[in-house]
């Protein structure tokens, strides 16, 4: 199973533990004076743990070692961000040389703390033009304040899975493209069963599986921070339109309480009891990995994939979506940074490697060349996510020195809004902005 098992609330736990360091950290200093042609063993820490994932990363390492016979790679899997940052903080011989993270929200802290080395000097030495290799959107979530401390190592794109049989039954010709169509179709696809449901058109509740509010909010193209780095959610008209649309989706299908009761009856997200996979949802927000699971489970209905709908007044942006992904970097404490760069460059920028790895774990490749490669999985549902990843309107979360704490704050606020506990939205958003700004200031102290 791919990397979506990382919990949404991980960033706040890491920050609370003091493991993601602020800009005042004093990381152990490594060396970029090593000769990458000399024999060396690199320690590579990553988060993959499922058998198929581990095989894919080990196959990648084997390909690298064949090209660089002088470099041996000692891989350690199933490693969390907390463990990596503890090791980098401590430094020493046991610390890793090359690291990966599934949490793009924390890139701001990786870069600002100095715990991950700036990769721009390595790219200049090797002649790698990052703007020609990687889509700008992916470069945005692997850098902070001019420091390119990470590079993208495959991406995740979010779209909408839909039950074609349910659509046909309801007389709906195609997936909705605008939010007004979304609301109408969701209502038409919903089937009640007494005080509960047989099926919900689209479950808008933010606690469902991948329904973190920032993912649907991306369809409005919001601006989270102003030029000074201050939170501006209360000032962005998109915020109010987003919450209004979410409320309309809830009301069109029976109200929050009824939907929430139905949601709590759903099976585990990563099992065949997933609510979309067993027919309880007609439309579902999810990532590209779900298609592989659908095929393996041989679900009992015809299904398809489309981009999520967009606001009616932004119809030209249809095809956009929310993007995130795995990032790779070099530990600042590594004394083998030039050799480590060879591994990072191979994993992130070698076209055949990126394509092979993407096909193996069914994730979106993260370079222009790999996205256009004829060797890439030709599954048309997967291709939808490739298009979303390349759409100029697709959005990533902006990096912050407090990692993903502002995302967690938005989540908690959104839970209160959908439950009807926020009676003055504008006032609540102003308080949310103040909270986010205070957290950011504290992380810098």
Residues present in the chain in total: 445
Q: What is the pLDDT of residue 28?
A: 60
On the question of a common fold for 3-156+323-390 and 158-317, the answer reads: yes
d(CA 151, CA 98): 12
Q: What is the pLDDT of residue 27?
A: 56
Q: Is 249 helix (H, G, I), strand (E, B) or coil?
A: helix
Contact between residue 55 and residue 356 where contact means Cβ atoms under 8 Å apart? no
Q: What is the pLDDT of residue 18?
A: 43
- Closest by alpha carbon to 32, among 342, 328, 327? 342
Contact between residue 102 and residue 45 where contact means Cβ atoms under 8 Å apart? no
Q: What is the pLDDT of residue 16?
A: 40
What single DSSP character describes residue 313? G
* Element holding 337 (H helix, E strand): helix 337-349
Instruction: Give the max Cα distance, the chain.
Output: 72
| CATH number, span 158-317 | 3.40.190.10
d(CA 392, CA 394): 6
Contact between residue 297 and residue 373 where contact means Cβ atoms under 8 Å apart? no
Task: Give the number of other CB atoms < 10 A from CB of residue 423.
Answer: 7
């950011």: which residue's tokens? 440
- Closest by alpha carbon to 211, among 299, 137, 291, 275? 275
Rg of the chain in Å (alpha carbons):
22
pLDDT along the chain (445 residues), means of 10: 42 43 53 93 94 94 98 95 85 90 84 92 97 93 92 95 98 98 98 95 97 97 94 98 98 97 96 96 95 91 98 98 94 96 98 96 93 89 92 90 86 97 98 95 76
Instruction: Please state the domain extents for the chain.
Output: 3-156+323-390, 158-317
* Element holding 154 (H helix, E strand): strand 151-163
d(CA 37, CA 280): 57
Contact between residue 81 and residue 121 where contact means Cβ atoms under 8 Å apart? no
d(CA 54, CA 80): 15
pTM: 0.87
Tokens of 276: 């979309």
* Element holding 202 (H helix, E strand): strand 196-202
CATH topology of domain 3-156+323-390: D-Maltodextrin-Binding Protein; domain 2 (3.40.190)
């Amino acid at each position: 199973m791919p990397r979506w098992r990382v919990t949404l609330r991980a960033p706040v736990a890491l920050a609370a533990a003091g493991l993601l360091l602020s800009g005042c950290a004093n990381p152990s200093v490594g060396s970029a004076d090593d000769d990458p042609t000399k024999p060396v063993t690199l320690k590579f820490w990553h988060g993959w743990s499922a058998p198929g994932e581990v095989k894919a990363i080990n196959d990648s390492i084997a390909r690298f070692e064949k090209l660089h016979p002088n470099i041996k790679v000692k891989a350690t899997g199933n490693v969390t961000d907390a463990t990596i940052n503890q090791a980098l903080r401590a430094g020493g011989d046991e610390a890793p040389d090359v690291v990966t993270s599934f949490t793009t929200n924390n890139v701001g802290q990786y870069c600002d703390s100095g715990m991950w080395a700036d990769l721009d000097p390595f790219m200049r030495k090797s002649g790698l033009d990052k703007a020609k290799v990687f889509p700008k959107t992916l470069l945005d979530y692997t850098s902070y304040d001019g420091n390119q401390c990470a590079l993208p190592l495959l991406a995740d794109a979010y779209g909408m899975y839909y039950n074609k049989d349910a659509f046909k039954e309801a007389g709906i010709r195609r997936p909705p493209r605008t939010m007004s169509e979304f609301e109408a179709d969701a209502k038409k696809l919903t089937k009640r069963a007494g005080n509960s449901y047989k099926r919900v058109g689209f479950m808008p509740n933010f606690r469902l599986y991948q329904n973190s509010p920032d993912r649907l909010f991306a369809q409005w193209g919001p601006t989270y921070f102003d030029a000074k780095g201050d939170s501006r959610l209360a000032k962005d008209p998109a915020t109010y339109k987003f919450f209004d649309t979410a409320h309309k989706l809830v009301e069109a299908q029976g109200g929050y309480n009824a939907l929430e009761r139905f949601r709590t009856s759903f099976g585990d997200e990563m099992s065949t009891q997933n609510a979309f996979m067993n027919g309880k949802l007609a439309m579902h927000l999810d990532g590209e990995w779900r298609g592989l699971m659908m095929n393996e489970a041989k679900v009992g209905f015809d299904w398809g994939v489309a981009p999520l709908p967009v606001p009616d007044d932004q119809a030209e942006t249809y095809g956009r979506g929310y993007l995130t992904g795995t990032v790779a970097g070099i530990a600042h404490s590594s004394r083998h940074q030039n050799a480590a760069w060879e591994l990072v460059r191979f994993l992130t920028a070698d076209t055949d490697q990126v394509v092979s790895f993407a096909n193996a774990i069914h994730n979106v490749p993260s370079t222009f060349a790999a996205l256009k490669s004829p060797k890439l999985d030709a599954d048309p549902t997967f291709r939808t996510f490739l298009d979303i990843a390349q759409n100029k309107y697709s959005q990533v979360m902006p990096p912050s020195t407090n990692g993903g704490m502002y995302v967690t704050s938005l989540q908690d606020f959104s839970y209160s809004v959908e439950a009807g506990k926020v009676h003055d939205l504008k006032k609540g958003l102003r308080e949310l902005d103040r909270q986010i700004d205070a957290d950011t200031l504290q992380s810098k102290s």
